[in-house]
Amino acid sequence: APERLTIVLPEDATADRDAVERGMRAGQILGEATCLARTLVNLPPNICTPQHLAETARQVAEAHGLRLQVLDRAEMEALKMGALLGVARGSAIPPQFIILEHQPERAAEGNSIVLVGKGITFDTGGYSIKTSEGMVAMKNDMAGAAAVLGALQAIAALGVPRHVVGLVPATFNMISGNSYLPSEVLTASNGTTIEVISTDAEGRLILADALVYAARYKPAAVIDIATLTGSIVVALGNAAAGLYTTHDELRQALLAAAEATGERLWAMPMFSDYEKLIESKTADIKNSGGRFGGASIGAVFLKRFADYPAWAHIDMAGMAEDLPNNPLYPSGATGYGVRLLAEYVRRATTQ
């Protein structure tokens, strides 16, 4: 990286100097936050554990004046987070539930935004095991968590006057003698029972308990971001993430933020037809509805746990790393979502 950067303005542009300096500073903040997310996703899974994500959150909190709370397994059990704990059961490395909070003094009460990031630090698929080829990239299954941590760092450093909460449910999805099994019934923290059809549809399970937890903030908006499905990659390739919401204003706000940052979104359907595909004979719902329309099925599953006026789900599975047609990210992690989420929060606060 260069040690010094000089920008030369025209002689008659002195009035714009402050604006240029503000823009440069904002660019630096967003670049550093994006690089934080990229570094996390690039790390091998023996280093980027749930505990490493929690430690990174601690460093961000200390550097930027954020409030941090990390729930351990016992605290999750007290909150009856049975969906998250079911996934975590197979790993010898315990789960973490990370709560990172930006609450400036001038933030208005009752106007919170909650960002939720999927933090599967490695996904074997569990007993619905992935192929070796399909498994090798699964260290990136915490890219949503990385995006949320990076976005909170950027939002705090930019001084956005809004109460913003980042939630990261973090765990491995492993195979062991204690792993959860297909046909088990898990109970989420809102009492919803879930039949496990596929242990490889674990992301929606850990997000379910996080989305329930988000309701305690009485949020104006909740956005979750996750490498949720391979189906979204089939639909959109590496060109855009899928956007799911039934809230028109939130949809337009996120699409505008995507346009401004170049972190593309494409609005996807949530027809009621998909809801029928997660009906279960042995529980309230099941965690997989078959191979067709898989990304939309994942979204309607999550919607069952989003009990607030405005919620959106971003499936970024095709955008996490290795975008061959994008000159910015031809190889390695992209840090997708950091600038998108930060820009959405900034616009929602200032406009």
Alpha helices by DSSP H, the chain: 17-42, 50-64, 73-78, 82-88, 132-135, 143-158, 203-214, 231-236, 248-261, 272-276, 294-303, 338-350
What is the reported pLDDT for 15? 59
List, in order of start, the domains of the chain with CATH numbers: 11-350 (3.40.630.10)
Pair 84, 97: CB distance under 8 Å? yes
Q: Which two tokens stand for residue 254?
A: 């996120």
Residue that has been written with the tokens 């290795």 in this structure: 322
% of the chain at pLDDT higher than 70: 98
Which pLDDT belongs to residue 276? Answer: 98
Average pLDDT over residues 281-292: 97
Q: What pLDDT digit, counting tens, does each position of 273-282 carry?
A: 999 999 999 9
Concatenate the DSSP letters of all residues of 169-231 into one string.
EEEEE--STT---TT-EEE-TTS-EEE-S-TT--HHHHHHHHHHHHGGG--SEEEEEE---SH
Binning pLDDT at 50, 70 and 90, where does residue 14 land? low
Stretch 85-111: mean pLDDT: 94
Angstrom distance (rounded) from CA 5 to CA 14:
18
Mean pLDDT confidence for 22-37: 96
Please count the other Cβ atoms lying within 10 Å of the Cβ belonging to residue 309: 13
| Mean pLDDT to the nearest integer, 155-169 | 98
- Residues 130, 251, 264, 347: which is the catalytic one? 130
User: What integer pLDDT is reported at residue 197 of this predicted model?
Assistant: 99
Contact 144, 316 (CB under 8 A): yes
303 catalytically annotated = no
Give the pLDDT band (50/70/90) at residue 175: very high
pLDDT range class, residue 202, cuts 50, 70, 90:
very high
Tell me the pLDDT of the chain averaged across its residues: 96
pLDDT over 70 at 160, yes or no: yes
Q: How confident is the model at residue 108 (pLDDT cuts 50, 70, 90)?
A: confident
The tens digit of pLDDT for each residue in 292-311 reads 999 999 999 999 999 999 99
Per-residue pLDDT at 9 exceeds 80: no
Query: Active-site residue 281, yes or no?
Result: no
Q: How do residues 183-198 score in pLDDT, each as one tens digit?
A: 999 999 999 999 999 9
Q: 16 or 20: which carries more pLDDT confidence?
A: 20
Nearest 5°: phi and psi at 166?
-110, 125
pLDDT over threshold 70, residue 1? no
pLDDT, position 329 = 78
φ and ψ of 291, to 5 deg: -85, -25
Residues of the chain with pLDDT > 90, as a percent, come to: 88
Residue 66 has pLDDT above 90, yes or no: yes
User: 139, 162, 204, 304: which one is catalytic?
Assistant: 204
